[in-house]
């Protein structure tokens, strides 16, 4: 089952599942890219948007994250903070960086 959603949630159109960093990493490896930015949208009344970024190293991760932030905040109009006043990773939950700096 997709992370954060029950089968009933998905069947009833309640948002979409978060796309894991591993999916973006697989795209980078399979197709030979240094940076991957994935924007996913579930449109309609229960719509939600999600952004996943990946870079092959810290420098590329930082660039991919900046591209993702530009798209989220400047193009798509996301709010800049969540309930904790921290930067917002997506409209469902904040994105965290792992030990290698990936979002």
Residue 92 lies in a domain: no
Q: What is this structure's pTM?
A: 0.66
pLDDT tens column, 18-50: 899 999 999 999 999 999 999 998 888 878 888
Residue 51 lies in a domain: yes
Given a cut of 80, is residue 103 above it in pLDDT?
no
Structural domain of residue 68, as residue ranges?
7-75
DSSP the chain: --TT--HHHHHTT---PPPPHHHHHHHHHHHT-SEEEEEEEE-STT-EEEEEEEESSHHHHHHHHHHHHIIIIIIS---SB-TTSSBPSSSSS-----TTS--
Residue 103 lies in a domain: no
Residue 65 lies in a domain: yes
Residue 89 lies in a domain: no
- The domain total for the chain is 1
Whole-number average pLDDT of the chain? 76
């Amino acid at each position: 089952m997709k992370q954060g959603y029950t089968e009933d949630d998905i069947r009833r159109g309640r948002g979409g599942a978060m796309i894991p960093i591993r999916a973006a990493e697989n795209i980078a490896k399979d197709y030979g890219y240094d940076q991957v930015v994935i924007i996913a949208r579930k449109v309609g009344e229960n719509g939600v948007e999600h952004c996943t970024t990946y870079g092959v190293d810290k420098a590329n991760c930082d660039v991919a994250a900046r591209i993702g932030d530009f798209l989220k905040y400047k193009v798509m109009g996301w709010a800049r903070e969540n309930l904790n006043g921290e930067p917002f990773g997506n409209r469902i939950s904040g994105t965290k960086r792992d030990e290698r700096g990936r979002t």
